[in-house]
Amino acid sequence: MRVGLRVEAVATTGIYCRAECSAQPHPHKVSWYSSSVAAEAAGYRPCLRCRPERRAGSLADLDVPAPVAAALLAITDGFLDDHDEEALATRVGYSGRQLRRLFEAHVGATPATIARSRRAHFARRLIDDTDLPFDAIARAAGLGGPRQLHRAITTTFKFTPTELRSKRRRGERAGLDGGLELLVPYVAPFNFQAFAEHQASRAIPGVEAVNSGAYTRSISVCGYAGIAKVSDARDSQHVRLRLHLPTYDSIIDDVARCRILLGTDADPTDAAAVLGDDPIVGPLICAAPGLRVPRSWDRFETAVRIVVGQQISLAGASTMCGRIVARLGTPIDAGGEMSDEGGAPVTHLFPSATAIADAGVVALAGLGFTQRRIDTIVGLSQAVANGDIDLRSAEPIDDAVARLCELAGIGPWSAHLIAMRVLGHDDAFPAGDLGLRRNVAHLVGHDVSARELEALAQRWRPYRAWAAQHIWHAGNGGASRAAAWSPDPAISAESAVSARSAISNPTDRSST
């Protein structure tokens, strides 16, 4: 667990703060908690000066058992909005009592407390950042109505919604023209431009677009189609999320999906601490310290995008996915705010796993796929639809890859990319990727096979996904990344010698 994300609670005031808050309480009156949720469970309310509850990553990277990690992931995905703690416990293989005990020991709060805190903090953001009426805020945060909103807010913050709105700082709220606009915090540094470049080359026509540095996509909330647009807030603290929706019910889940896709809660310094001294990856990290591993907004959509991309170019894969969308996707109104202003229109929702599974192989005929690829896409869709494959699984990387490879047409390359982008594994590494091999060969000065790259990558554990992302990023950079991509001869020679040593002796991890 990252100590820097702990909070300090002051017994005499009943308030908890960030460690770097300017307030200076007496040390004997301070208690430390692992997260804001744990402090709130102990009866403390967040400081109005340093706003510790708004810090990105407050529950990220907790050192917890796998079932607790899986439960936290489910809570983040809104599982407890429609189920109780017993159902959550059953999902991760525990009794309700056992799961609560584990949560209290490792997180400092029960699953229900975390879910309530999540809804209350999201409602607080809407109170601060918008002029939405309180009944709309209650629905948006997954609360039943104004009465439940009042109870959740006063319990967590010790102020009523009206009092909090009156306390908000001038200039803090965002405007509502052209949609509901929110500021999503991130763990700095964060390279939004790198994210936009990554998505631009992989955007699915009709579903996603990247124009003028902003990422736009179709979304579905409570059965309603809408548009989400993400851009850099340029304040070194937030990305700007604009939502165009006919209803704001439960948009808390889409804010969570935005954070997952961009990796806003991940701390790049964790990977840098392991990889920074590596002669191959280290210079790339220094050149792009805010780079993240992009994940997914729609897990199934990303998995299909990866399968379609087997053995074809990025542009070809985007075109083929666009054909699937045009045939099986759900059309949405592409006029006005339902399109990417000044750029490619967003016209469809990506089809669900059930939709593709029910349509079957016949529906994908005539789109340019081989029969084998059609069978793989439909097989993956059926496995996800019937629950054989859980794209929210928190199982270990080796187990996840093995399970995915049981599906016909999915090998290690696809499985590791799905583990990286969809399941969020930091140590996934598609060693057979042609781009990785070509870029590493450029850095070390000689050709590298998939087997040799797999051996070399052992030194980058447990952040092989981050190493891969930096290698891809540098290789696609052009002049702006020339310093990292073309190091001086001495560094190149050291990298080549180090790489050959690692390939000949895979157990050597001395550089980390």
Asked if 88 and 45 count as a contact pair (C-beta separation under 8 A), the reply is no
- Catalytic, 17? Answer yes
Asked if 50 and 18 count as a contact pair (C-beta separation under 8 A), the reply is yes
22 in helix, strand or coil? coil
132 in helix, strand or coil? coil
96 in helix, strand or coil? helix
- Catalytic, 375? Answer no
Backbone angles phi, psi at 381, to 5 degrees: -60, -45
H helices of 291-433, in order, are 299-308, 314-328, 353-359, 371-385, 397-405, 412-421
Return all residues near 236 (Cβ < 8 A) that are at least 6 apart: 188, 189
The one catalytic residue in 128, 298, 426, 433 is 433
Please state the separation of Cα 98 from the chain's center in Å. 28
Residue bearing tokens 């990387």: 397
CA proximity to 450, closest of 466, 464, 436: 436
The one catalytic residue in 17, 47, 50, 258 is 17
Three-state SS sequence of 188-246: CCCCHHHHHHHHHCCCCCECEEEECCEEEEEEEECCEEEEEEEEECCCCCEEEEEEECC
Please state the separation of Cα 26 from the chain's center in Å. 38
CA angle (259, 282, 295) in 5-degree steps? 20
According to DSSP, the β-strands at 15-18 and 214-221 are unpaired
Half-sphere exposure for 280 (CA within 13 Å, toward CB): 34
Length of the chain (residues): 512
Helix (H) or strand (E) holding 155: helix 146-157
Residues identified as active-site: 17, 433
